[in-house]
């Protein structure tokens, strides 16, 4: 399938990728186009901004988690109905795993999905040197997909001269510029950008930005570049058979034809404190036969009735520690469910919530659920940041094989668990982690289920067994 698409990238983090991506998405929507959006890498927050702008789900593409065929399949699955797909890169264009590889970089995603890349260059405080930077990025790899440049924080008076210089010296098309923006800045905190709902007048700011971009970008050339993307090709039969006996992609259950087959009911923690999850994970479980029931550990008094399992994902529980601690009835409900053997997945913030005690950002301790003995405490730096592979004896009583995962947190625990060994790629570093039993999988790592669908199957089967009882 031939899908018009571009990838917006930059030499490094902090170059304005997310803001400009959101501005372009908003611009395309105002032009009456139907865009799809994607984020390279394991980020949770940037896709929330994309979703806020376009009003539909934004997705992750991560070539550490998925092989090339699966990556292309997932892209086409989510983009096939759109008129143009916009991908936002991660970190610097070539920055991949372990800081020494291009694997799982924005370059890797662009290469695999045959997507033209547009390099966003911060032009403030530089002129001719920008040409050297662009030329270096273009020529660093022979198969570099960099096909265009946007100059960020550039004076309008300099644009025509810089465009002429860059195109002459680098043979890369300059697709416009973004002036210095004083009233449209996305603020950050310890895990990245603040959440979209916390940005005052976000839509008004993006509307103002898209009006600026209509004037400062060469939108026609950008659309023309997107249409130059080549047709995707991937081996669907390989995708169907590669994942350890699990039909992949799974066949959706037809409950009308088989009324005896009960749909498995899984609770999904979803509120201000717990909001980091991959929609692809939920869709994979839905394909297996799961239905989700949202609940709030902050606002609800207890778990929903009739659950066969539940999930506590990451987020910002440390910012809502007092409210979570004060909800004694929800804590009791979760403890009771765990005691009754209801299967649970708890990642990062959800894992912290299950502790006896959790600190807030100021280091104040707050009583929590108490299912994990120990204390989740705040640190002043990132702990165990980046990709890992989990090696252990399986999950929920079933063999899974190695599980790719990701960590990114400013907290640690006095009781991280020892069921798995986490190994850093291209490194000798490893550590023990994860509390795992027939009914519990809890720890700091975040999982993307298409990386190893056996884990999703193990959790689902355990919930299914619970439903049959």
- Active site positions, annotated: 348
In DSSP terms, 193 is beta-bridged to: 188
In DSSP terms, 40 is beta-bridged to: 61
Q: For the stretch 341-350, what's the b/e string if a residue is b when 16 or more beta carbons lie within 10 angstroms of its beta carbon?
A: ebbbbbbbbb
Q: Of the candidates 50, 42, 44, 49, which has an alpha carbon nearest to the alpha carbon of residue 79?
A: 50
Q: Is the dihedral of CA 460, 466, 467, 469 positive or negative?
A: positive
* Whole-angstrom distance, CA of residue 163 vs CA of residue 48: 33
* Whole-angstrom distance, CA of residue 120 vs CA of residue 86: 14
* Whole-angstrom distance, CA of residue 193 vs CA of residue 171: 34
Euclidean distance between the first and final Cα of the chain, in Å?
A: 45
* Whole-angstrom distance, CA of residue 25 vs CA of residue 429: 40
Structure tokens of 24? 């372009």
Structure tokens of 142? 């022979």
Asked whether the beta carbons of 378 and 414 are under 8 A apart, the reply is: no
Q: Of the candidates 120, 135, 151, 169, which has an alpha carbon nearest to the alpha carbon of residue 11?
A: 120
DSSP string computed for 72-113: HHHHHHHHTT-SEEEEE--SSTT--GGGT--TTSHHHHHHHH
Q: Of the candidates 383, 382, 387, 385, which has an alpha carbon nearest to the alpha carbon of residue 403?
A: 387
Q: 202-216 and 45-54 helices cross at what angle (nearest 10)?
A: 80
Asked whether the beta carbons of 122 and 149 are under 8 A apart, the reply is: no
Structure tokens of 422? 């986490």
* Whole-angstrom distance, CA of residue 426 vs CA of residue 421: 15
């Amino acid at each position: 399938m031939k899908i018009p698409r571009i990838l917006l990238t930059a030499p490094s983090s902090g170059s304005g990728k997310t803001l400009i991506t959101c501005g372009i998405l908003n611009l395309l929507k105002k032009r009456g186009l139907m865009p799809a959006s994607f984020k390279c890498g394991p980020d949770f927050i940037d896709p929330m901004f994309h979703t806020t702008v376009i009003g539909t789900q934004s997705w992750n593409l991560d070539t550490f988690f998925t092989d090339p065929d699966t990556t292309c399949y997932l892209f086409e699955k989510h983009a096939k109905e759109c008129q143009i797909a916009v991908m936002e890169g991660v970190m610097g264009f070539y920055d991949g795993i372990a800081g020494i590889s291009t694997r799982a970089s924005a370059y890797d995603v662009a290469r695999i999905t045959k997507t033209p890349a547009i390099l966003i260059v911060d032009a403030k405080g530089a002129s001719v040197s920008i040409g050297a930077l662009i030329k270096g990025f273009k020529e660093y790899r022979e198969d570099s997909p960099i096909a265009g440049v946007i100059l960020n924080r550039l004076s309008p008076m300099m644009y025509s001269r810089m465009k002429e210089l860059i195109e002459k010296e680098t043979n890369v098309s300059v697709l416009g510029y973004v002036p210095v923006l004083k009233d449209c800045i996305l603020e950050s905190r310890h895990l990245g950008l603040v959440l979209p709902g916390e940005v005052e007048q976000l839509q008004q700011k993006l509307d103002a930005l898209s009006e600026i971009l209509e004037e400062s970008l060469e939108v026609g050339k950008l659309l023309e570049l997107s249409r130059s993307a080549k047709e995707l090709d991937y081996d669907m039969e390989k995708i169907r058979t590669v994942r350890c006996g699990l039909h992949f992609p799974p066949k959706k259950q037809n409950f009308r034809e088989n009324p005896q087959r009960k749909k498995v009911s899984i609770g999904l923690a979803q509120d201000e404190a717990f909001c980091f999850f991959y929609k692809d994970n939920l869709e994979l479980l839905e394909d297996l036969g799961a239905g989700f029931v949202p609940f709030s550990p902050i606002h609800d008094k207890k778990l929903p009735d009739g659950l066969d399992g539940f999930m506590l994902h990451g987020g910002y529980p440390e910012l809502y520690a007092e409210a979570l601690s004060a909800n004694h009835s929800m804590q009791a409900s979760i403890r009771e469910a765990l005691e009754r053997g209801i299967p649970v997945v708890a990642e990062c913030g959800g894992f912290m919530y299950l502790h006896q005690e959790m600190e807030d950002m100021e280091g104040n301790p707050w009583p929590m659920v108490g299912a994990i003995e120990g204390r989740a405490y705040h640190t002043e730096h990132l702990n165990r940041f980046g990709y890992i592979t989990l090696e252990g004896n399986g999950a929920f009583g079933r063999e899974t094989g190695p599980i790719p995962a990701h960590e990114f947190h400013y907290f640690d625990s006095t009781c991280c668990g020892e069921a798995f060994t986490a190994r850093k790629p291209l490194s000798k570093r490893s550590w023990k982690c994860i509390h795992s039993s027939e009914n519990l999988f809890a720890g700091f790592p975040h999982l993307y289920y298409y990386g190893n669908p056996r884990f999703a199957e193990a959790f689902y089967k355990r919930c299914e067994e619970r439903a049959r009882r």
